[in-house]
Amino acid sequence: MGAVLVTGAAGFIGAHLCRALLARGEEVVGLDNLNPYYDPALKRRRLAALTEGARPGQFRFHQLDLADHEAVLALMAAEAGLDRVAHLGAQAGVRWSLEQPFAYTASNVTGQLSVLEGVRRAEGRIRHTVYASTSSVYGARTDGAFREGDRTDHPASLYAATKKAGEVMADSYVCLYGLRLTGLRFFTVYGPWGRPDMAVWLFTDAMTQGRPIRLFNEGRMRRDFTFVEDIVAGVLAALDHPPEAPAHRLYNIGNSQPEELTELVAALEEELGVKAQLELLPMQPGDVPTTFADTSAMRRDFGWAPTTRLRDGVGHWARWWREYHG
């Protein structure tokens, strides 16, 4: 068995995926640009944790920007043992896309193209590529579960638009070059080593510092919170089962159980032993009121199903938070 290229290896989901691959004996080539969207020190600590317990040479890290296509192509050509790709690197965050739009086209459009072109030039050596998309492609909806065949041509943010562009580009590379690609639309991932810009981190930080939590749309938001270890199990299931013929498959990967933001707050109050102060605010541009994954296709094709309830996942998160912050 060859090695797996993981882009976004220092990121939240990418680091968890690397750890799972290393634990089952895989060789992993990690790529990340360690950009300052949030504190790079957190990313470096994730990377340091990956090397603990790994055998020498099992994890090889390269600090590269996905938008530097020449560097990405050179790396993929030089790592001759690569036979699978898990492309999780991206510029995340709906709200920041209002402030730094060009960062999103660089990472999510040019970066996607860099990886697709690298896979194409491998001339069949890379037998399967799994890449991260997002539930944001479904736009602002409140009409029940989101299904892969639903329309995704009305994104509510530039972030969503760039990720939709990545899906369309993948379609073209399958048609042109016969690649085997699987896109996974992630739904509101949380858990240990999470991102500081996401609700679980923001709420926990505010509560432990005695600051109010900002609840947009006056708290009337529902999210399909999905524990990171469930997400990683789904990524591995997809990666291990490439399509039999050239194809581009798309799957939702979420908890299939939307929860009110107030449920997340209540779970954090219980785990942290702190009563939250709430600041109710109007809806923010680019945000959506609900996310809700229909994951029947993941169940059918890979036997995957989430197993972590929100209260249990928040318990894992709170224990990590205390350990991380001493």
Looking at the annotation, which residues are catalytic? 159
Cα dihedral across residues 205, 210, 213, 214: positive or negative: negative
CA triple 169-253-192, angle to 5 deg = 110
Token digits for 98?
């209002």
- Pick the closest to residue 235 from 147, 84, 132, 148 (CA basis): 132
Q: Which of 83, 64, 76 is CA-nearest to residue 21?
A: 83
Is residue 18 within 8 Å of 30, Cβ to Cβ? yes
**What gap in Å lies between CA 258 and CA 187, rounded to an integer?**
10
Tokens, residue 221: 């938001």
SS3 21: helix
Tell me which H or E stretch contains 251.
strand 247-253
Q: In the 8-state DSSP scheme, what is residue 17?
A: H
* DSSP assignments along 57-83, one per residue: TSEEEEE--TT-HHHHHHHHHH-TTEE
What whole-number distance in Å separates Cα of residue 94 and Cα of residue 134?
Answer: 11
- Residue of 42, 126, 118, 119 whose CA lies nearest to 82: 126
Q: How many whole angstroms separate alpha carbon 132 and alpha carbon 278?
A: 33
The residue type found at 121 is: R
Query: Could you give the CA distance from residue 183 to residue 85 in angstroms, rounded to a whole number?
Result: 12
Q: How far apart are CA 298 and CA 296, in angstroms?
A: 5
d(CA 44, CA 92): 18
